[in-house]
Structure 1
Amino acid sequence: MCSPQFYQTKFSKSRIQLHIHLECSPHAPTIWEIAQNNNHKLPFKTLDEFKKECVTKEPSTLSNYLKPLAWYLPLIKGNCTAIERIAYEMAEQQAREGVVYSEVHYRPANLASIIRSDGLSSAETVTYRMVLELVTKGFQRAEQDYGIKARSLLNCGRENPDEAREVLSLCEEFKDKSVVGIGLSGPWIGPNQDLEGEEGLRKEVIEVFQRAAQLGIHRTAHTGEAGPPSSVDRHVKFLHVERIGHGYRAVDDEVLYQDLLKKGIHFETCPHSSYLTGAVPANCIKHPIVKLAEDSADFSINTDDPLFTGTTLDDEYRLLQKKGLKDFHIVRANFNAAQSCFLPPQEKKDLFDHLKNVYGITGNQFCNHLNNNFLTV
């Protein structure tokens, strides 16, 4: 059996994140500084109070969990210096946590300033393209300084077809460069006769994702966090997604769950936020992530929204270990992430080979290592 020291050493050099949100990851001191420099008064007396209030302490709802966005997003929106800075600092922090590759979710619409959040026309237009360029510049600087590779995974809201089409255009133009795929986010929309189907997928948004599939653009979607299992089913069937963000509710439908396993759908799981958003009941006997691990499902372990959870990857790993995951499950999750990431083939192979080199795995040993607890490492 491998020693704890072995895994601790390896973890520090071989982590991959596939689900972390740029808008929900800025450092609290950075936000505070930006607010002071722009004479913007946050609704808190001190930085410590602001930082404390950003973190959800007890299981709540997704809307309550995301409440801090309203406090600080207007400071970043359309602020070119701030956008590049938070991208750089986020990648820097991930590098310090041992992440070698990260796919970063964000909605350009959340950071652009074509129309200001207060309804007034922006004095300086910052387009979706400019947001992407600024974020890419921040990532590139972090790669030069810390060696971490970070790529953009552009999200669009499930309620806005025009946004989806513009995001698709950027994904097509920057495919296999700074953008690795398209994602769908935003709150789950319940039954509504104006939408396509009971799960709130607009026909135009469905068409955007189907077009993305035709163009060879990778696809993921937030689902199964707030909506029912049928929501997961519809996102996979109609949007042709390869990965799902969260997806915990899928395990409640055994037929659906087995179908997802058979199709090799990747689950981008986020342990702490699963409790804090109310996606997983705090008193559940077995966390869905534990079931995924026991069933050898394709899943990764991610921090989601570090500013709101107050966690690092170490904290996410420790939580799952307390819930029953073994060290080899966590190692396998990182290999899963490498295998299911959206990098071009050669870059994916290089990343996979990097992990194999870190763990000293060669040739035919690999499958045995993944499936037999790494007993021979």
Structure 2
Amino acid sequence: MIKTLDIQSMEKFISKLRVTSSGSLPKFIRSFDIFLPILRGDRQAIKRIAIELCEDKANEGVAYFEASYCPHLLADNDVGVSVEEVVRNVNEGFSEGYKKFGVKANSILCMLITKPEWCADVVRLCDTYRHLGVVGIGLAGNENEPLGKEYFDNMKVGKIYQPSISQSASCGPMPSGADGGIIQIVLRKIILLGLVPVRSGMRVQFPGT
């Protein structure tokens, strides 16, 4: 039994995580509130997930992948697990996964739109581990949230690292009838954030087309 969630079986736990109907990115990421408290600060679990992710990708026929995550969401200072240790645990798991399953993996460390105070720290981590398994920095969260002044103030520190850190941003699913909203989101991230690389593709289809 998972006491904090009052869930009696693994089947019920999985059903809580699954999104079975169409919706928005905020609806999808609400599942994070369920499983993150279980993983947070657990060194063995963090490393094991990295290893098993390599195993899953090997079973899918994947030779190389990049995993995006926010280290602050997995760290827990109360039990002595820092953001640095989270990154090291993930990197160690990927290294072990490569040895076991032959799948190469690297990390993209994510800033969160709703946590601008973490931005400078994420950039610092990317710079520290850029030759140790971290290949880029990302921006994640609800695209409908505004990027306030605090966010850009904290991002200024990243300018000195730009030559060595690849920057990317993801765009989640938009509801039907968005009328070009997703294009506006993409343009905002390219123009305001100065992003160059594209790490994932998308297909945009408007109603009636």
Q: TM-score, normalised by structure 1?
A: 0.49
Work out whether residues 113 and 145 of structure 2, in 8 Å CA contact, stay in contact via their aligned partners in 1.
no
Counterpart of 1:66 (choices 23, 29, 33) is 29
2:15 to 52, 69, 73: 52
The reply on whether 1:203 has 2:203 as its aligned counterpart is no
Spell out the pairing of 1:141-290 with structure 2 (5 A cutoff).
141-190=96-145, 195-196=148-149, 202-213=151-162, 215-223=163-171, 225-226=173-174, 228-243=182-197, 266=198, 268-269=200-201, 284=207
* Structure 1 residue 173, shift from structure 2 partner: 1.6
User: For residues 48 and 190 of structure 1, what CA distance do their matches in structure 2 show?
Assistant: 33
Count the aligned residue pairs.
Answer: 203
Say which one has the larger Rg.
1
Looking at structure 2, the residues matched to 103 and 56 of structure 1 have their Cα atoms a distance apart, in angstroms, of 23
Distance 1:155 1:280, change over 3 A: farther
Unaligned runs of 5+ in 2: 175-180
Quick one: structure 1 residues 94 and 188, their matched pair in 2 at CA, closer, same or farther if it must change by over 3 Å?
A: same
CA deviation vs aligned residue, 1:251-295 (integer Å, no higher than 9, x gap): xxxxxxxxxxxxxxx361478xxxxxxx978xx455xxxxxxxxx
- Identity of aligned pairs, percent? 26
Distance 1:162 1:73 in 2: 20
Q: Which runs of 5+ in 1 are unaligned?
A: 1-35, 115-121, 244-265, 272-278, 287-377
Q: CA deviation at 1:206?
A: 4.2
Q: What residue in structure 2 maps to residue 8 of structure 1?
A: none
Which position in structure 2 is the counterpart of 1:136?
Answer: 91
SS class of match (1:177): coil
Deviation at 1:160, TM superposition (A): 2.9
Residue 77 (structure 1) aligns with:
40
Q: Matched residues in 2 for 1:105 and 1:171: separation?
A: 12
AA paired with 2:99?
Q
